[in-house]
Amino acid sequence: MAESHDEFLSSDLTENLKIIDEKMKLTADLKRRKLMFHDKTLFILYLDTITDKESIELHIINPINKQESDSIEKTLGAIQFSIMTTFKDISTSLAEGNSILLTENSNIAYSITTSADENRSVEESVNEKVTMGAHDSFVESAATNISLLRKRLRTPDFKVEYHTYGPETNVQVAICYLDSKVNPNVLQSIKSRLDKIKDNDLLNSRQIQETLEDFPYSPFPQSLRTERPDRAVFNLLNGNTVIFLNHEPSALVTPISFYSFLRSPEDYNSRWFVNFFYYCLRLLAFILSVTLPAFYIAVNAYHSSILPVSTFYTLKLSVLNVPFHPFVEAIMMQIVLELLKEASVRLPSAVAQTIGTVGAIVIGSAIVQTNFISNTMVVVIAITAVSSFIIPNGEMSTSMRLMSFPLIFLAAMFGFIGIAFGLMVYTTHLVKLTSAGKAYVEAPNIIQSFFSRKNGKGQDANALE
């Protein structure tokens, strides 16, 4: 369909200014400066809330006032600019922080880069701290984040593609990959999925995650969110794709495997047997956090005969005066745990530590003394909580704690048979999962990869993805 006549600039400067004001909804922060250039009237338009006014003065107004050249293009030659002919392009450029230069008796406009650069400096990661290794992290600028990757990947194979999403947000998304490492079919699948949300207004990276996920209702995260450039580089070297959303201080890594969530960025700065030990510890923590409360309920309610006599009497004495079924105990303690965790996250850091420590001690002691919860159940839930916190990825850690609830219910209803059925469902679902078309769980070469890294023969295919 042809554009309407008033979508293009005319040679009437007054009419152009009027239409631009209408396109920008007469916003109060749209400013204009009138200048003269060789007896021609010029207007500079900009949004003073997102533009660098010093740059406007230095690179636009001063050269025009000097009038050292006969043409605007030569006068603006020292700075980056582009020529525009439609009001839509002009209004979009203004919203991005650029300045627009309109001239008398001309149907073109000059868009000049003058956006204010107010990015915070590169600091240590808050959510992925390490004792050994790099201490930098991503910031809210995609350009800065890509520069952090390029400092570690000095190769022409490192490729970046930019895409803009949303009619209102116009947010920039950067897709990064190593051309010689990435699977072309997987890359094409990622791009085609992102094209489906081209017309959606993106506000956060979770919208991208939902688009990339093959199973959006799965409890397992199917893309990895990281704040660390070294972790993103390891994934690029393994053939994965890293996606940045401008104004977000993290990267999305896809495709990803289940094993990646059990690895820490610190693993590559320690000896191989230390890494292997902690990997096994995290795998054990995953199993405990999902199954331990359910196992305790099943033993307490149905299968106490499998315990040694001394352990049996200790367990029965601990629950003798408790009026609730172990199922109710477990649910109550899990909810209390989530309340304390959520409170510690929402409160200021100075208060959060006090609430977490004092709240756990006071509530734990009081709830046992009043015989609402048995001592054994408190120990079980504490071990479950600590096990979930060992997992380096917060999203996976939360999913693990929530996955224990269905098993708790099945254990209360059917004992070990219910746990076995629940684990069978989880395992079947885990095996069926894919991430960007690739298997989520593959045959693990963990031991082989550790020895390969030890001997300098290669990188771990499942590590730090």
| Segment among 302-311, 319-328, 349-358, 361-370 with least mean pLDDT | 349-358
Going by pLDDT thresholds of 50, 70 and 90, the confidence category of residue 463 is very low
Is residue 359 predicted with pLDDT exceeding 90? no
Give the C-alpha separation, 373 to 375, whole Å. Answer: 7
Q: Write the pLDDT tens digit of every residue in 82-104.
A: 899 999 899 989 988 899 999 98
Q: Write the pLDDT tens digit of every residue in 271-281.
A: 888 888 888 99
Is residue 363 predicted with pLDDT exceeding 80? no
pLDDT at 447: 52
Could you tell me the pTM of the whole model?
Answer: 0.81
Of residues 70 and 137, more confidently modeled: 137
Is residue 4 predicted with pLDDT exceeding 70? no
Going by pLDDT thresholds of 50, 70 and 90, the confidence category of residue 450 is low
Q: Write the pLDDT tens digit of every residue in 181-218.
A: 999 999 999 999 888 887 777 888 888 988 888 888 89
Is residue 454 predicted with pLDDT exceeding 70? no
